[in-house]
Amino acid sequence: MADLTAQAAPETAPRGAADRLSDLLWRRQGLLILLLILPPALWLGIIYLGSLFALLAQSFFSIDPFSGLINYEFTLRTYAELFRASNLDIILRTVLMAASVTIAAAIIGFPVAYYAARYAKGRWKALFYLGVMLPLWSSYLVKVYSWKLILAKEGILSWIFETLHLTWALEAYLSLPVVGGNSLSVSWTGTFLVFLYVWLPFMILPTQAALERVPPSMLEASGDLGARPGQTFRHVLLPLALPGLVAGSIFTFSLTLGDYIIPQIVGTSARMIGQAVYQFQGTAGNIPLAAAFAVVPIVIMGVYLYVAKRMGAFDAL
Amino acid sequence: MTTAIAFRKVSRHYGQVRAVDSVDLDVAEGEFFAMLGPSGSGKTTCLRLIAGFERPTAGEIEIFGRPSSKVPPYRRPVNTVFQDYALFPHLNVRDNVAYGLMIAGVGKAERHRAAEEALAMVALPGYADRKPSELSGGQRQRVALARALVNKPKVLLLDEPLGALDLKLREQMQVELKSLQRQLGITFVFVTHDQGEALSMADRVAVFNEGRIQQVGRPQDIYDRPQTPFVADFVGSSNVLSPEIVARLTGRHAHASLRPEAVRQQPGGRDAQVVELAFLGSVTRMTLTMDGQSLTALVPKGQPVPDKGSTIQIGWDEDALHLMEARDG
C-alpha cells in the first residue's frame, strides 16, 4: 500500500485544443450553460417571440374602411369587432370544436396510453410507439384528403353502412341539426373525426409518459385500502395522470384552435378561427383583425391553463 | 388459537419460474410472523398472494378460514405497508392516512380525527398538512404504517418496511413495531431478508429459499437447531460442515452446523490455519481452514488475535455441532 501512494501519478497534462477547451468549460460551468442556451434563446426570443409580438401589435391598429389602409394608431376598435355576432360565432364554434376534440381524444387516448404504460413490454412497446407515431410520418394533407374520400357520400363508410343494411341509421344521423349534413364529409361530424384522428397521438404520448411514472404499487395500495378499481381510477390514477392529460389537451386544444386546413377540406362552409385569420390577412387584407383573431387562442389557452392549475392539475408534478 | 392465514399447497409459477412452490403455512391470530429469505426466495410473492395482488397458480390461501382465491384485494381484511411506502404524492399526509376511511364512506370530520389519532400512534403528530415529498424516509415509513393501521385490519402485511432506513432508525423502528403489535394485538406478517430483524422481532419465523419453506419455528429454534444447511448458513451465517468432515469428527455421515461464536481457540485442539482476519468492532472474525473445510470463528474483543497465516488449535463444545437431516443439497 505504502509504495503505491508514494508513486501516485501526477494528473495527466492536457493534450491538444479539445482537452484545453474541455478543461476551460469544466472550470467555468456558467460559460458552458451560456454557450448551450444562447442560440435557442436567440431563436426563441427574437425570431419567434419577436415576430409573434410584432403580429400582436398589429391587433391594436385598425383598418381604414374606405381606403383599406392600415391606420397606425393605438385603438381597441379591432378587438371590439371580434364581438360582432358573425365573428363571435366563429370563436364559439372553434372553441366548441376544440373542446369536443380534446375530450374525445382524452377518452380514446387514455386506455391506449394506460395499456402501453402498464402492460406493453419490449416488442409490444415498440409496436405501440410505431402505431401511434406512424400516422405522423405521412403528409398531413394526404391524410386529410384521404378522410374526405372515406367520409364522402360514395366513400367507404357509406358503403359499410349500406353493406350492413344500416344506411337508414346514417341517414337519420345526417338529418340531425348541427352535426349532420348532406354527407359526413361536409358535416361538423366529419371535421370532428378528422381533427380527432390527426391530433390523437399528441394526446396519447404525454398521457402515456405520465402514466409510466405511476408506480404499480400506488394502484395496489389503493386497492389494498379498499378501493374498487373505479375508485382507484378516480382518486389515484386520474389525479396522477392529469399533468399528462393536460399536456396532451394543450396540444389537441391549441392545434384545433389554430388549424385552417382541415375545416377547409372537410366540413361545412362555416369558418373556424384559423380560416378567419387566413382570409383576413390574405384576401381581405385586414391584418389588424387577423392579428386580433390570432390573440383569441392565446387568451383561451392562458385561461385554460390558469383554471387547470387552480384545479390542481399540476399538483402531482 | 385461531388461524389467521393458512397456505394450502400454494404455488405461484411464472412460466418456468417457480416463485412459490407448494407452500404450506399457518399463521396464528395475534402472531408476529416473519418470512425470511434472500431476494427471489418467494417471501414477497407470498405476501402479495395474501394481499391478493397475485393469484396462486395452484393451492388455496385461507384468510380466517375463508378461501380467498375469488376475493379481490379490496375486499380482504388485510392491509399492506409497501416496501416503497406507495404514499399518494398528490394527497397530503392526512388524506393519505384517511384514504381507506374515505373509500369506506366515513365522514370527513370523523376520518380526519382517526387519521390524527393514527399519526399520533406512530409518533408523527403535526405532520398532517405536509406532502409525502416533504418527509424523510423514516417519516414516510410511519405514514405508511398509520395509513394501514387506521383501517384496523385483522392482518397487517409488511414488505421489508425497514429496508430503506439507516441502521439507527431501523433498530428504533424494530422496537416500536414490536411494541405496536403487542399493543394492538393485530397479526403481523413481516417480510425481510435481514435475519437479525426476523429473529429479534418475530414470534415465529419461516425461512424461504427458492420458493419453498426451509424451516418454520421460533427464532431460538431456527438459530440453534437449523434443519437444513441453507438455514444454518443464512440465519447467522453458521459454518456448514461437509458430511466427510462430520464423518471424521463424529462417525455419522451428515451435514452439520457450527456457530462461529462456538468455535474457540483451545490448546491441544484441532489444527487450523488462519486465512483471513476482519475487524468488526466488538469482535474479530477469523476465516480458518481445517482439513480443507472453511470455517468462520469469532474472537471477542480483549482476547488475543492470532496472526494471519499462523496455525492455531481450535475446539468447541460437543453439543455445539448440530447434525442436520439431508433434506436438500
**Nearest CA distance, B61 vs chain A (angstrom):** 17
Residue B323 reports pLDDT greater than 60:
yes
Nearest CA among A247, A248, A224 for reference residue A236 = A224
Q: Which of A49-58, B141-150, B213-222 has the lowest mean pLDDT?
A: A49-58
Residues from chain A contacting residue B52 (CB–CB below 8 Å): 223
Test mutation, A118, A121, A211, A225, chain B, max B CBs within 10 A: A225
Residue A181 has pLDDT above 80, yes or no: yes
Looking at the fold, whether A104 and A25 belong to one and the same domain comes out as no
Q: Are residues A100 and A33 in the same domain?
A: no
What pLDDT sits at residue B130? 94
Q: H or E segment at B215?
A: strand B212-217
Mean pLDDT within B167-177: 88
Mean pLDDT (chain B) is 91
Name the residue facing B86 among A218, A235, A316 (closest C-beta). A218
Residue bearing the bigger pLDDT, A5 or A166:
A166
Same domain as A152, residue A105: yes
Q: Which chain A residue lies closest to B155 (C-alpha atoms)?
A: A224
Q: Positive or negative, the Cα torsion across B304, B309, B313, B319?
A: positive
pLDDT interval class at B329 (50, 70, 90):
very low
3-state helix/strand/coil string of chain A: CHHHHHCCCCCCCCCHHHHHHHHHHHHCHHHHHHHHHHHHHHHHHHHHHHHHHHHHHHCCCEECCCCCCEECCCCCHHHHHHCCHHHHHHHHHHHHHHHHHHHHHHHHHHHHHHHHHHCCCHHHHHHHHHHHHHHHHCCHHHHHHHHHHHHCCCCHHHHHHHHCCCHHHHHHHHCCCCCCCCCHHHCHHHHHHHHHHHHHHHHHHHHHHHHHCCCHHHHHHHHHCCCCHHHHHHHHHHHHHHHHHHHHHHHHHHHHHHCCCHHHHCCCCCCCHHHHHHHHHCCCCCHHHHHHHHHHHHHHHHHHHHHHHHCCCCCCC
In contact, B63 and B77? CB cutoff 8 Å: yes
> A1 pLDDT exceeds 70?
no
- The reply to whether residue A316 touches residue B73, judged by beta carbons under 8 angstroms, is no
Alpha-carbon distance A96 to A200, whole Å? 17
Q: What fold characterizes domain B3-232? A: Rossmann fold (3.40.50)
Contacts of A312 in chain B (CB under 8 A): 90
Q: Are residues A282 and A191 in the same domain?
A: yes
Distance CA B250, CA B89 (A): 61
Does some domain include residue A14? no
Which residues of chain A approach chain B closer than 8 Å at the C-beta?
215, 217-218, 220-228, 231, 235-236, 239-240, 312, 315-316
CA distance A250 to chain B (A): 21
DSSP sequence for B136-185: -HHHHHHHHHHHHHTT--SEEEEESTTTTS-HHHHHHHHHHHHHHHHHH-
Nearest-CB residue to B100 (from A217, A226, A315)? A226
Q: Which H or E element spans position B58?
A: strand B58-63
Residues of B in contact with A309 (CB under 8 A): none
Q: Is B82 in Cβ contact with A225 (below 8 Å)?
A: no
| Same domain, yes or no: A215 and A98 | yes
Q: How do residues A124-162 score in pLDDT, each as one tens digit?
A: 999 999 999 888 888 989 999 999 999 998 999 999 999
Residues of B in contact with A235 (CB under 8 A): 99, 102-103
Q: Would residue A64 count as lying in a domain?
A: no
Kindly list the residues of chain B whose beta carbon comes within 8 Å of any beta carbon in chain A: 51-53, 72-75, 78-80, 82-84, 86-90, 99-100, 102-104, 147-148, 151
pLDDT at position B328, please?
45
The answer to whether A240 contacts B89, with C-beta atoms less than 8 Å apart, is yes
Q: B111 vs chain A: nearest CA distance in angstroms?
A: 14
pLDDT in tens, B20-41: 999 999 999 999 999 999 998 9
Residue B119 — pLDDT band, cuts 50, 70, 90? Answer: very high
Taking 60 as the threshold, does the pLDDT of residue A241 lie above it? yes
- Helix, strand or coil for residue B117? helix
The parent domain of residue A44 ranges over 20-48
Judge contact between B5 and B27, C-beta under 8 A: yes
Whether residue A42 sits in one domain with residue A162 = no
At B192-247, the pLDDT tens digits run: 999 889 999 999 999 999 999 999 999 999 988 888 889 988 887 788 888 888 88
Which of B75, B88, B151 is closest, CB to CB, to A218? B88
Assigned domain for A102 exists: yes
pLDDT beyond 60 at B327: no
- Count the neighbouring beta carbons within 10 Å of the beta carbon of residue B326: 12
Query: Could you tell me if A119 and A240 lie in one domain?
Result: yes
What ipTM was reported for this prediction?
0.83
Whether A236 has a pLDDT exceeding 70, the answer reads yes
- For residue A316, list chain B residues with Cβ-Cβ distance below 8 A: 89-90
Model confidence band, residue A3 (pLDDT cutoffs 50, 70, 90): low
From the list A225, A228, A315, which residue is nearest B99 (CB)? A225
Is the pLDDT at B262 greater than 70? The verdict is: yes
Contact (CB, 8 A) for B112 and B98 = yes
Q: Give the bridge partners for B25, in sequence order.
A: B7
Confidence of residue A315 (pLDDT cuts 50, 70, 90): low
Helix (H) or strand (E) holding B269: strand B264-279
Q: Is residue A57 in a domain?
A: no
What pLDDT is recorded for position B251?
Answer: 81
Q: 3-class secondary structure for B298-328?
A: EEECCCCCCCCCCEEEEECCHHHCEECCCCC
Grid cell of B301 as nine digits: 474483543
Nearest to A272 by CA among A287, A255, A288, A285: A255
Second-level CATH architecture of B233-323: Beta Barrel (2.40)
- Whether the pLDDT of residue A52 is over 90: the answer is no
What's the distance, CA B115 to chain centroid? 29
Domain ranges of chain B: 3-232, 233-323
Within-domain flag for A40:
yes
What pLDDT sits at residue A190? 94
Distance from CA of B259 to the nearest CA of A (A): 34
Q: pLDDT higher for B87 or B168?
A: B87
pLDDT above 90 covers what percent of chain B? 64
CB A262 within 8 A of CB A253: no
pLDDT at A70: 83
Is position A9 within any domain? no
Examine residue A127 and state whether it is found in any structural domain, yes or no. yes
The residue of chain B with its CA nearest to that of A312 is B90
Residue B98's pLDDT band (cuts 50, 70, 90): very high
Mutation target to probe the A interface, by most A beta carbons within 10 A, among B14, B88, B129 is B88
Minimal CA separation from B242 to chain A, in Å: 37
Q: Which of the residues B71, B74, B133 would you substitute to probe the A interface, choosing the one with the greatest number of A C-beta atoms within 10 Å? A: B74
Domains: count for chain A? 2
Least confident among A39-48, B28-37, B248-257? B248-257
- Which residue is closest to A238 within chain B, CA to CA? B90
For A232, name the nearest residue in chain B, comparing CA atoms only. B103
Chains A & B: contacts with CB separation below 8 Å: 65
Q: Do B90 and A239 touch (CB under 8 A)?
A: yes
* CA distance to partner chain A, nearest, from residue B91 (Å): 9
Lowest mean pLDDT segment, chosen from A246-250, A275-279, B80-84, B249-253: B249-253
